[in-house]
Amino acid sequence: MSEPEIDVLVFDVLGTLVDEPAGLRAGIRALDPSLDGATTERLLLLWQGHIEHEQRRILDGERPYLPSDALDREAAHRVAEAAGVGDPDAVAALALSARRLPPWPDTVAGLARLAEGFPLIGLSNASRTALLGLNAHAGLRWHQALSAEDARAYKPDPEVYRLAVTVSGLPPERLLMVAAHAWDLRGAQRLGLRTAHVSRPVGDPPAASDRFDLYADGLADLAEQLDARRARRKAARG
């Protein structure tokens, strides 16, 4: 059986292309430079836990939809309160740290290489405004950047992945969802997208039961695997 054709690559952003914890740590340290490492990590977990919990509440219908900017502001207030910082300007600056996330070392060059062979779509839970800031700060270049805000939901809601399918104008199986989070890829699979797990230090690793189409150590490895697939298809066509 021949391998399925892949025409478009769809990328998760947070954690897959940018180091989200590193950017948030920097924002927390700027909030109070006297914080030690253990306290910074505790506050980082507080932020991440709030975002995850509130997104889940929204997905479960327990709370009306709010874009990521609003959730970031809530998380920043919780972290600042826990750190004993009450300066509104400092809290506002902390909230914006969610847009100042550094790219992984292979991200910019990897996207450029992959863009030579495929249209690239960014598909993020970040709001439209936050995604603009993220792209600019990290130097991400897309053919199209889509925010979950347009679906008024968060991944892994199928309506978020449907945004990429609709924009591509292709059947879902012609799209390859690329992410460092197994939960994200499972959500894409449920809508019929192909999937590629890229290993990152902060990602959600696959479970033994997961069956993704590709597994890559980074974007260069992913590009090599995709090049090999194309070569095999070309050879099969004679």
Domain ranges across the chain? 8-18+103-237, 20-99
**pLDDT (0 to 100) of residue 1:** 45
pLDDT band for position 234 (cuts 50, 70, 90): confident
- What pLDDT score does 105 carry? 98
* 231 contacts 121 by C-beta, under 8 angstroms: no
> Residue 163 corresponds to which tokens in the numbers above?
């945004």
CB 130 within 8 A of CB 99: yes
For residue 88, count CB atoms less than 10 angstroms from its CB and return exposed for 0-12, middle for 13-18, buried for 19 or more: exposed
What confidence score (pLDDT) does residue 112 get?
97
CA atoms of 162 and 172, how far apart (whole Å)? 8
Q: Tell me the pTM.
A: 0.95
pLDDT per residue as tens digits for the range 190-207? 999 999 999 999 989 999
Radius of gyration from C-alpha coordinates of the chain: 19
231/186: higher pLDDT = 186
Are the folds of 8-18+103-237 and 20-99 the same?
A: no
Give the orientation angle of helix 219-237 with respect to helix 107-115, to 10 degrees.
Answer: 20
Superfamily of domain 8-18+103-237 in CATH is: HAD superfamily/HAD-like (3.40.50.1000)
Kindly give, in sequence order, each residue whose CB lies less than 8 Å from that of residue 206, ignoring residues fewer than 6 positions away. 182, 185, 197, 212, 215
Task: State how far the Cα of 186 lies from the Cα of 183, in Å rounded to an integer.
Answer: 5
Task: Output the pLDDT for position 2.
Answer: 57
CB atoms within 10 A of CB 166: 11
Mean pLDDT calculated for residue range 164-170: 98
The type of residue at 78 is R
Handedness of CA 123, 126, 127, 131 (dihedral sign): negative
What is 99-126 written as a DSSP string? G--PBPTTHHHHHHHHHTTS-EEEEESS
Query: What mean pLDDT is reported for the chain?
Result: 96
Which helix or strand (DSSP H or E) is residue 185 part of?
helix 182-190
Tell me yes or no: is domain 20-99 CATH 1.20.5.
no
Strands (E), the chain: 8-11, 120-124, 144-147, 175-179, 194-198, 214-216
Helix (H, G, I), strand (E, B) or coil at 9: strand
pLDDT digit string, tens, across residues 89-126: 999 999 999 999 999 999 999 999 999 999 999 999 99
Kindly provide the b/e burial profile for residues 128-151, where b requires at least 16 CB atoms within 10 angstroms of the residue's own CB.
bebbebbbeebebebeebbbbbeb
Question: Taking residues 2-28, what's their average pLDDT?
Answer: 94
Q: What are phi and psi of 127, to 5 degrees?
A: -65, 170
